[in-house]
Amino acid sequence: MLKVENLSASYQTVNGDIHVLKDLNFTINDNEIFGIAGESGCGKTTLLKTLYDIVEFPLVIDQGKVIFSGEKNGQKFSFESGDIRKTWWNNISYVPQAAQSVLNPIVRLKQQFLDSIPKEDRKNETEQETLARVGKYLEELSLSPDVLEAFPFQLSGGMRQRVIIALATFMGPRLVLADEPTTALDVVVQRGILMMLMHLQKQLKNTMVIVSHDMGVHYQITDRMAIMYSGSVVELGKTEDIFNDPVHPYTTMLVNALPRVGDRSQRVGIPGRPPALASPPPGCRFAPRCPHATDRCRSEVPVFREVKPGRFAACHLLNEEVQKNG
């Protein structure tokens, strides 16, 4: 389980701190595929970095923490922000954005797999025995073990992405974080990557967190998802409910802007632009673009709370409905 408690983070610059994440509170359950969606620049990648504990200057955590706990091979574990990196690869792994560039282009893939495996995990076997294990795992993912002899530059973009995912999951981590795993890939290759991720999650029975600005990706593979806007989570719930019955005005406009098969009507995008994180507006950050905004929305930050069973949102209008019904 991954728990985010009162998390705020910022980037320190010569012109002052830029607050990128603001008061985040949510839980990601075991054995689920959890999606994080939102427009570019809303803080998705920064959130993933804090979950993975890649918090290095100029990024700093202003308050709160991330708690990662679970059980593997009969052993319980628990790590908090600052210590999560101690369990990289073993219990948690990360597929970064533009992951294809992560591989060393002049080192054979077999050596890169060997370098990623902790020494204690291979102390009782020879190098060839370890590579045999890797080859068997690649076959389970419909990849040829022959790829281990290749250099990354010899592979297509889609194949490199598959190899990166195999590299990140070989140790059987309980949590896999993937940042835009289908970016810059054609539609056919994208589907292959998504099917690979779904297969891995069912095989490992672990948790996956998928960050993508592509709502179609979330619709296809995630169980629950969070919608981010300008550094905050504005809605969270089951993916099916988010698409069929969005409750936050931003989510509603986001879903209504999506094309639908057989519907030739012109879709209307969300007017305006997200606010600059360096100078966000007071109150609800979506208020300048929201058709339902009131004076309260423009001056008071809404509380992120449960508005329906299993549904969370941050909107004054929804909070008023909850209070009336409740």
Q: What's the pLDDT tens digit per position in 223-239?
A: 999 999 999 999 999 99
Specify the pLDDT at position 290.
Answer: 96
Mean pLDDT of 295-311: 95
Positive/negative CA dihedral, 179, 184, 187, 188: negative
Other beta carbons within 10 Å of 65: 15
Mean pLDDT of 277-292: 94
Residue 50, φ and ψ in degrees, nearest 5: -70, -35
Q: pLDDT by residue (tens digit) across 103-122?
A: 999 999 999 999 988 877 77
Distance between CA atoms of residues 297 and 20, nearest Å = 20
Q: How confident is the model at residue 123 (pLDDT cuts 50, 70, 90)?
A: confident
The pLDDT of residue 188 is above 90: no
Specify the pLDDT at position 99.
Answer: 67
Specify the pLDDT at position 255.
Answer: 92
Distance between CA atoms of residues 101 and 54, nearest Å = 18
Rounded to the nearest angstrom, the gap between the alpha carbon of residue 39 and the centroid of all alpha carbons in its chain is: 13
Mean pLDDT of 203-214: 94
CATH of domain 2-229: 3.40.50.300
Other beta carbons within 10 Å of 183: 16
Quick check: pTM over 0.75?
Answer: yes
| C-beta separation of 100 from 161 below 8 A | yes
CA distances to 77, 102, 197 from 184, rounded to whole Å, are 36, 15, 17
* Residues paired with residue 296 on neighbouring β-strands, in sequence order: none
The pLDDT of residue 96 is above 90: no
Q: pLDDT by residue (tens digit) across 245-270?
A: 999 999 999 998 887 766 677 777 78
Other beta carbons within 10 Å of 72: 15
CA distances to 21, 97, 103, 204 from 301, rounded to whole Å, are 14, 31, 43, 40
Measured at the CA of 48, the angle between CA 219 and CA 21, to 5 degrees, comes to: 105
Specify the pLDDT at position 324.
Answer: 54
Q: How confident is the model at residue 100 (pLDDT cuts 50, 70, 90)?
A: low
Mean pLDDT of 20-32: 97
Distance between CA atoms of residues 147 and 109, nearest Å = 7
The amino acid present at 63, given as its one-letter code, is: Q
| C-beta separation of 66 from 9 below 8 A | no
Quote the DSSP letter at residue 179.
Answer: E
